[in-house]
Amino acid sequence: MNFLGHLYFSNNDLELMYANLFGDFVKGKAMYNFPEKIQKGIQLHRSIDGYIDTHEDVRKLLKTLYPELPKVSNVAIDLFFDHLLASHWKNFHSIELTEFLENFYTFQPLYWADYTSDFQSFIEIMRARKWLNYYPMREGLEKSCAGVGSRISFPNLLHQAPLTFDRHYNEIYSCFESYMSDAIQHFGTNK
């Protein structure tokens, strides 16, 4: 899952949400250079990534989407699932999505000074532009796919992923429901 999924599976712990997102910025054993709470978030991030990568239904969906989105079908699924989570947020959380996100944006992490400057800049831009607020909308999916695709170091078709999403919507949504049901249980996530 992408940003929203990582926040969701942080189980309403705002400090952990930041540490979880930081997981994309830390490689290997470098995680042990940070305070324990940040390490916990990095471990959760890696656990979420590992869980989705090995989920049986997600693996089947990857095979279905690969011909249309070679090399980036896994990235597309992360973006699709975040879009679906945002679109169906009320099914998964008791707090409105906009309030959930505002709580995240306005929270000042205790360990802010321990985060790297590139992560701090990333968060400041996310807060200012409120990217995640657009996730429920088609425009948000399109921008996410185009933006992530432009940052990938090799030529890819991720900008076309929204069309793939339309063509395979039923399969994608069914897989999303299966994954969420299993992941909520696996991670012990509360509404």
Query: What's the confidence (pLDDT) of residue 1?
Result: 85
Tokens of 142: 């399109």
Query: What's the confidence (pLDDT) of residue 189?
Result: 87
| CA pair distance 181, 44, nearest whole angstrom | 18
Q: Per residue of the chain (191 residues), what is the pLDDT tens digit? A: 899 999 999 999 999 999 999 999 999 999 999 999 999 999 999 999 999 999 999 999 999 999 999 999 999 999 999 999 999 999 999 999 999 999 999 999 999 999 999 999 999 999 999 989 999 999 999 999 999 999 999 999 999 999 999 999 999 999 999 999 999 999 988 87
Identify whether the C-beta of residue 141 lies closer than 8 Å to the C-beta of residue 160. no
Query: What's the confidence (pLDDT) of residue 190?
Result: 81
Give this prediction's pTM: 0.96
Report CA-CA distances (Å) from 185 to 88, 179, 180, 181, 191.
Answer: 18, 10, 8, 7, 12
* Torsion over CA: 63, 69, 73, 77 (sign): negative
Query: What's the confidence (pLDDT) of residue 121?
Result: 98
Query: What's the confidence (pLDDT) of residue 146?
Result: 95
Query: What's the confidence (pLDDT) of residue 191?
Result: 75
Q: What residues contact residue 10 under an 8 Å CB cut-off, 6+ apart?
A: 16, 17, 20, 41, 44
